[in-house]
Amino acid sequence: MLEKLFSLGYSKAFAERYYELWGERALAIAEAMEKPLPRCFRVNTLRIEVPRLTKLLNKKGFQFKRVPWAREGFCLTREPFSITSTPEYLSGLLYIQEASSMYPPVALEPKPGEVIADMAAAPGGKTSYLAQLMENEGIIYAFDVGEDRLKETRLNLSRLGVTNTVLFHKSSLHIDELGVEFDKILLDAPCTGSGTIHKNPERKANRTMDDIKFCQGLQMQLLEKGLSALKKGGVLVYSTCSLEPEENEFVIQWVLDNFDVELLPLRYGEPALTRPFGIELSEEIKKARRFYPDRHGTSGFFVAKIKKLE
């Protein structure tokens, strides 16, 4: 079993970790990540209704199936030519987005008129979905540190017709400087990206435990800042595209231990791990969810929904 993981290119340390976490299933997860994901897209209801766009695409020979957790989301089953060369794509009627990435905005349940923060916004996929769910009403404060990625975000938001978003070329570690109390916050946190091997195969071998520890420290800092800027009774959705418990369950356990919060249940995905590496965590952590390439046909993904208590 470990030899098979080595043969796929995983370092000894990570092959052993994954075997300890999932046993024989580790190989099924690793093999699923060798395959490209289906191309998925979201209908941009700021510009067009879902039935109208799906009819337009069907007439051109595109076929697709619905993403279970996103009523505007579809994954292509037949793509006669690149969907990104269609007028529908170019005019912002749809946005290419992985199915798992559609879940955090849906889980946050933003409403028109609310004040929302997106703490790591580039390239704008989740930000634009938040705006869509808010019907462009209310305001989104969107942060990112990468200048080039922010340019891409600005172009995406413009193409998609998003008008309720203010972009900040700044780390959201400075979110408290705005003096704003947020109704809801999305933190799709910087992470090691070990759930995205299908598009970043080099991560099988070049990641280290130091990388995980660095990301965990940053994730905790961001969560602390986000929770301090959240209204009492407000909700923060935390997500990563990492498989590592240190960036997921252990971070959420730390939040439960140190802040006056509760986890809210999520409907989709598998329950998060409560005994990773034999370490006992709160049973509450099952309310957070994991998505796996072998079961869900998505990236490896983690989502938790945190409510700040009154």
**Contact assessment for residue 273 and residue 21, using Cβ atoms and an 8 Å cutoff:** yes
User: What is the rounded distance in angstroms from the CA atom of residue 22 to the CA atom of residue 149?
Assistant: 35
Instruction: Place 7 in a pLDDT band, splitting at 50, 70 and 90.
Output: confident
Task: State which H helix or E strand residue 51 sits in.
Answer: helix 50-59
- Provide the pLDDT confidence category of residue 101 given band limits of 50, 70 and 90: very high
pLDDT in tens, 60-69: 999 999 999 9
Annotated ligand binding at 144? The verdict is yes
Q: Give the confidence band of 287 by pLDDT, cuts at 50, 70, 90.
A: very high
| Cα Dmax for the chain | 54
Predicted pLDDT of residue 10: 85
pTM of the entire structure? Answer: 0.96
Q: What order of strands is seen across the sheet that includes strand 94-96?
A: 63-66, 73-78, 40-43, 94-96
pLDDT band at 231 (very low <50, low <70, confident <90, very high): very high
Residue 241 annotated to the active site: yes
Tokens of 241: 């595209």
188 known member of a binding site: yes
- Selecting among 40, 191, 215, 241, the annotated active-site residue is 241
Joined tokens for residue 55: 């009819």
**Segments making up each domain of the chain, as ranges:** 100-308
> What is the percent of the chain where pLDDT is above 90?
88
What superfamily in CATH does domain 100-308 come from?
Vaccinia Virus protein VP39 (3.40.50.150)
> Which of residues 274 and 199 earns the better pLDDT score?
274
pLDDT at 271 over 80: yes
Q: Which residues, 6 or more positions from 231, have their beta carbon under 8 angstroms from its beta carbon?
A: 181, 182, 183, 308
Number of residues that make up the chain: 310
Percent of the chain with pLDDT over 70: 100
**Residue 300 among known ligand-binding residues:** no
Q: Is residue 158 over pLDDT 90?
A: yes
Q: Is the pLDDT of residue 5 over 80?
A: no
Is cis: bond before 123, omega within 30 of 0? Answer: yes
Is residue 12 over pLDDT 90? no
Mean pLDDT of the chain: 95
**What are the residues facing 260 on neighbouring strands?**
none
Neighbours of 140 (CB within 10 A): 26
Considering only CA atoms, which of 94, 90, 108 is closest in space to residue 64?
94
Q: Give the CB-side neighbour count of residue 201, counting CA atoms within 13 A.
A: 9
Return the SS3 of 208. Answer: coil
Give residue for tokens 């959420």: 252
The answer to whether the annotation marks 126 as part of a ligand binding site is yes
Task: Tell me if 32 is assigned to a ligand binding site.
Answer: no
**pLDDT tens digits for range 171-203:** 999 999 999 999 999 999 999 999 999 888 888
Which residues is 289 bridged to in the sheet? 271, 303
* 233 burial type by CB count under 10 A (0-12 exposed, 13-18 middle, 19+ buried): exposed
Query: Model confidence at 80, in pLDDT bands (50, 70, 90)?
Result: very high
